[in-house]
Amino acid sequence: MGQRGRLLACGAFSLAYVLLLFVSIYLVYTYTLGSMHALKWDGYGYSDLLINYDAGFVRRGLLGALIRRNTISESSSLPYVNRFLFSNFLLLSFFTTILILRSKKRTGIVALLVLTMPGSIYSIASSGQFFYRKEILFYISLCIVACLVCVLQYLDHPVTKRSIGYTAIFLIFVSSLVLPFIHESFLFMSAPAHAFLLYAATRTMRSKNLALKMTYKLPRIMVRTYLSIQAILFLILSHYKGNSMMAQIIWDKLLPADKSMIAADGHLTGAIEAVGWGLPRALWLTVQVMISGFGWYWLIPLVGGFLYCLSLTLLGKKSQGSVTDISHQTSLWVNCYLTLLTATLPLFLLGWDWGRWMLAVNFSFVILWLAIEPQNLGKITNAIPSSSTTQVSLQKPAEIAQEIAGVFARFWLRHRRTLIASMLLFSFTFRVPECCIGGSSSTMSMAKHGLKKIMKSYSDNRR
């Protein structure tokens, strides 16, 4: 393809990006502002947004408390919530677009593939799901900081560089003190991605006045401090899980119109009912996924998302050079993706919203890829103290990542158009469900009956 053909293709892809972006915004508008007083999206998600502090301090209650405060004199909280959700989606779309425009890896096809990727803007809007989830706030925070880090890496003016760097670091730590109170899953869903950005920002800002040893230690110290704060907050919030009495109080104090939209019979249900659930109840949800027989289905979006993100790293402007060079860069991104995925693994045990966890990994990865240069990527696993045994255990996955990267690098050099076509086909024909694939009534009743018999037999033997 000649220069003229490449320019026409880039223009066509850019136009498709703009059109699909406006389509996405319009779709979310129809769900929210287009029906201000009618709930056109998930009732469970609505109840999750309304968890508040009416019964005392409880995890996940900050956003609901703010909604409650601003709608106390209204007949329903829905119009306020719809405006809030639409504003969030606009912010996410805006900052994602800004990041794409600022990224050195930007091309027309890259922009389109980022927009249509499962878990990104277009898939969120077209599915009618995810946009009402609290983690949208995590993504907005991630995009804002990523824009700052993206600019920071290419600045030469020291004063401006320090100002932007300190702003990025400040926002990362401030968000880490606020977002966990919106949902404690921040530690697993978004804190690792923020830690990558923190590492990149600190590494880029390293001062020549510091001792050489301290210069190399500072990024790791910052990441350890950040992740330690997140772990402590998670443990504190886990203690304040609430109980059934608090759940009933929160439900009773909801506006009558809100209760009728969540449950037609007016009885306690939805995410508010889950207030007070402990670890055994959460683990039972995961057991249901496996009992259902559909547990293997999740391998399709998991593997598909990984291959999509890996392919995307080969299509940027920077992905040029020999197979060895491309393979080395890609292996760094494979390690990054696997780190993000590993961080979310506890969520797969604590809840059955498996689609949410997978899409969080995909979206976070793409934001990091757009914002960070490979030399500033680092690895969170290197920022955490580890023994020699742990380092040996991580050596094999690193070798596997290198092999995977090599295979993809060779494929990209030979079949670039096939790769792009396959990614677009996957984007427009595959949809990841938010959750929840559980067992049928017969399957679940058989499983419960079997578990009861095992427990009864065990208790009889003890006697």
pLDDT value at 440 more than 80: no
Between 237 and 4, where is the model more confident?
237
Between 7 and 336, where is the model more confident?
336
Q: What pLDDT is recorded for position 106?
A: 78
**Residue written as tokens 């690792």?**
192
- Kindly list the domain boundaries of the chain, sorted by start residue: 20-37+76-241+277-462
Q: What pLDDT is recorded for position 82?
A: 94
Q: pLDDT digits over 43-53, tens only?
A: 888 999 999 99
Q: What pLDDT is recorded for position 153?
A: 86
Q: What pLDDT is recorded for position 130?
A: 87
Q: What pLDDT is recorded for position 388?
A: 42
Q: pLDDT digits over 14-24, tens only?
A: 888 999 999 99
Q: pLDDT digits over 401-414, tens only?
A: 666 666 666 666 67
Model confidence, pTM: 0.85
What six digits make up the tokens of 358? Answer: 């997978």
Q: What pLDDT is recorded for position 397?
A: 55
pLDDT value at 455 more than 60: no
pLDDT value at 386 more than 70: no
Q: In the structure, what pLDDT confidence band is assigned to residue 390 with cuts at 50, 70 and 90?
A: very low
Compute the CA torsion angle 342, 422, 2, 104 (nearest 10 deg).
Answer: -20
pLDDT value at 458 more than 50: no
- Per mean pLDDT, which of 204-218, 240-254, 423-437 is the most reliable? 240-254
Q: What pLDDT is recorded for position 394?
A: 45
For the residues 360-367, what does the mean pLDDT come to? 93
Q: pLDDT digits over 254-297, tens only?
A: 998 999 899 888 788 888 888 877 777 777 767 776 776 667 77
pLDDT value at 85 more than 60: yes
pLDDT value at 343 more than 70: yes
Q: What pLDDT is recorded for position 33?
A: 92
pLDDT value at 145 more than 90: yes
Q: What pLDDT is recorded for position 441?
A: 44
- Per mean pLDDT, which of 215-219, 297-301, 361-365 is the most reliable? 361-365
Q: Which of 230-239, 263-272, 339-348 is the least confident region?
A: 263-272
Q: What pLDDT is recorded for position 8?
A: 66
Q: What pLDDT is recorded for position 315?
A: 78
Q: What residues contact 444, with CB distance under 8 A and at least 6 apart?
A: 288, 291, 438
Q: What pLDDT is recorded for position 121?
A: 92
pLDDT value at 213 more than 80: no
